[in-house]
Structure 1
């Protein structure tokens, strides 16, 4: 047994020495390649229950060189972005331009600029020219107003609000001179006044108020009436408010000349509108029209009229007075006339007859 153990230890020692000799005889390059292979072996892990092989990222020695310009650029801090604040100046606080001729020459290019800050500056210059150099810019309105409309469509709120303020100043300065250019401007202002951005809505509403104040209602109403039928209920509501502000400005004679029947029909169409603003504006207009109609067509004849009237006037049916109720029923459909009479607190004849009938029948029933 002792002999066997000695033999086993001798064999194992010889095997170990032979292995060391083999390792020492290997070239240095093979040893290094084996080490590199073990270092670059992909890392195996588990993500979401699935095994994934992700090799380690390799970096070239050039990327670590400090003289490389890409490394220098990556180490530089990013420059701070300049914050531009747009000042919204009220019309009363606007100053005159220093050189009107130079501004007149450059204003169109500024309005059409791709830089939104330059556009805002040009819009404010249009406001200044409208206030202080009205006559000099009059011949440029055909080119200026389409660019103002373009600014109203701009997605940047600062540009849009400044364009609304510019529109208000144009209305107050040029009045009826822009009637032929009003359609596209009116559409955009109605649209902006009905959107969700509050400070843009307020500026657009002020521009619409300026429009109804300075543009002749005789010229404005024909352009507003199609807007009362717009598919967008908010646009209809804003158009109804403009309509309600414009009708009283016609005056009694202006309403008669324009056609009270046209105005009644337009207002009646808004009584059943979706939004309460439209319905309330329609009520305001109808009450105004009723007052004008009854002033021109008194419901009660003077007592002297029967004694002084000639036989020809008595036989002429046109000489008979037409009440507000009869007028509405003759110009509107039955449902529309009933709605208008309800708003103006006039009880139709059929309703009065039914009330009288039920009132007379009630005592007998008791």
Structure 2
């Protein structure tokens, strides 16, 4: 059996994931000896202390320690903890455990604490986020995906509060969203979308900017997606304040990128910038003579970009109008 085939047996593909009635997803994870039949379940011993789990009040929101069935629980299906104090007292130790089951349970506890006990969890974020980053680097897919889901919930709950700690999370999520293991990749994309939704664009865009020039084209593509999603949230005044010329230069640089995903994100960004520019130039509150003498979008692009880049931006932003005219 080839090395690739052995790797493929470690985690079942997304098509084998079963959606449960409560909204959670069950993934069958094989460790130890490789099995030929994906439906076969392999029992493995665990050294996770039952008393530790019970004391923390983990309930049914976690992975069953006695087998290999990993539960990926949607945020809306997470319930509150039975004993918050006990959970908090052991949280860091379990996040840093050598037992992967214990790590996954602790990650789910971080999600529960964030959702139901925001203020108490906030006090520990400084020490917890590095441990989440460590789990994002974990080679075991179950740990990695649970850490990704934890990151998404942290973005949703804390938003701008974690901006000073977002860099290590962002690096790992961009990496995971660029890998070949699809169910991990899709979870990472979901977390990145949560980040662009809940973290202020004025704070996030400078964090994303360096990754638009990363050597890895897949990372550039995911960073471009995040950048393109964040810019419209600035609003017209925010875009003007940030610098529409700087943003159009960013869009132009991505239009010539290697991957179609980057180019599509750049096209969407360019269209947004064109819309904002034309609205700001043609506002009905402005003097009509000033509007008449205002530079067109094409003139603006030619003034702010090298000739080839200006042509590329003008081409992608004029296509929709041309298609509309042709349709008429």
TM-score by length of 2: 0.75
Partner of 1:201: 185
Partner of 2:9: none
Which stretches in structure 2 are left out of the alignment for 5+ residues?
Answer: 1-42, 46-66, 320-328
Once the two structures are superposed, residues 72-119 of structure 1 have per-residue CA deviations (whole angstroms, 9 ceiling, x without a partner) of xxxxxxxx7443222111100001111111111111111100111110
Distance in 1, matches of 2:229 and 2:185, equals 18
8 Å Cα contact 1:299/1:323 also seen in 2: no
Q: Secondary structure at the match of 1:344?
A: helix
Query: Are residue 161 (structure 1) and residue 131 (structure 2) matched?
Result: no
Over 3 Å counting, the alpha-carbon distance change for 1:142 and 1:299 in structure 2 is closer
Partner of 2:313: 340
Out of 264, 278, 297, which is 2:262 matched to? Answer: 278
Partner of 1:227: 211
Out of 210, 213, 216, which is 2:200 matched to? Answer: 216
Which stretches in structure 1 are left out of the alignment for 5+ residues?
Answer: 1-79, 310-317, 347-366
- Bigger Cα Rg: 1
Partner of 1:296: 280
8 Å Cα contact 1:224/1:243 also seen in 2: yes
Partner of 1:144: 128
Partner of 2:297: 324
Distance in 1, matches of 2:278 and 2:200, equals 25
Over 3 Å counting, the alpha-carbon distance change for 1:116 and 1:296 in structure 2 is same
- Aligned-pair CA distance for 1:327: 1.3
Partner of 1:126: 110
Partner of 1:173: 157
Relative contact order: is structure 1 or structure 2 higher (C-alpha 8 Å, sep ≥ 6)? 2
TM-score by length of 1: 0.67
- Aligned-pair CA distance for 1:216: 0.4
Over 3 Å counting, the alpha-carbon distance change for 1:336 and 1:301 in structure 2 is farther
Q: Secondary structure at the match of 1:269?
A: helix
8 Å Cα contact 1:151/1:159 also seen in 2: yes
Distance in 2, matches of 1:301 and 1:89, equals 51
Partner of 1:92: 76
Once the two structures are superposed, residues 7-33 of structure 1 have per-residue CA deviations (whole angstroms, 9 ceiling, x without a partner) of xxxxxxxxxxxxxxxxxxxxxxxxxxx
More deviation in 253-262 or 174-183?
Answer: 253-262
- Aligned-pair CA distance for 1:298: 2.5
Q: Secondary structure at the match of 1:225?
A: helix
Once the two structures are superposed, residues 255-283 of structure 1 have per-residue CA deviations (whole angstroms, 9 ceiling, x without a partner) of 11111111111111100000000001100
Out of 221, 238, 251, which is 1:254 matched to? Answer: 238
Instruction: State the Cα RMSD in Å.
Output: 2.2
Distance in 2, matches of 1:322 and 1:227, equals 32
- Aligned-pair CA distance for 1:320: 4.1
- Aligned-pair CA distance for 1:338: 1.0
The 5 Å alignment of 1:49-68 reads none
Distance in 1, matches of 2:99 and 2:288, equals 74
Distance in 2, matches of 1:110 and 1:301, equals 60
Distance in 1, matches of 2:118 and 2:283, equals 49
